[in-house]
């Protein structure tokens, strides 16, 4: 796991004891795996309530160059 976007659930507590509210991003950190989270960057994710837009923005955030074909109806 290099990046994971958590949209629901409980807040996350980082190894340094800092609590990160939801939504948040888990980012791989050497020696810690996915144990570190950061707040979702507002400049990269415009509308977390819209799951389709969030999926597209997440793929851009992860530098996916050829996104898979996904039927939008799965997200309505």
Q: What is the structure's pLDDT at 1?
A: 80
Q: Is 37 exposed, middle or buried (0-12, 13-18, 19+ CB in 10 A)?
A: buried
Q: What is the structure's pLDDT at 6?
A: 96
Q: What is the structure's pLDDT at 71?
A: 83
CA distance 2 to 15: 17
CB 47 within 8 A of CB 36: no
H or E stretch at 51 = helix 51-61
Q: Is the pLDDT of residue 39 over 90?
A: yes
């Amino acid at each position: 796991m290099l990046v994971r976007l958590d949209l629901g659930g409980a807040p996350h507590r980082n190894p340094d004891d800092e609590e990160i509210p939801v939504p948040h991003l888990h980012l791989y950190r050497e020696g810690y795996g996915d144990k570190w989270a950061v707040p979702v960057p507002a400049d990269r994710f415009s509308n977390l309530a819209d799951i389709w837009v969030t999926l597209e923005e997440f793929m851009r955030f992860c530098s996916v160059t050829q996104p898979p074909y996904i039927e939008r109806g799965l997200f309505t």
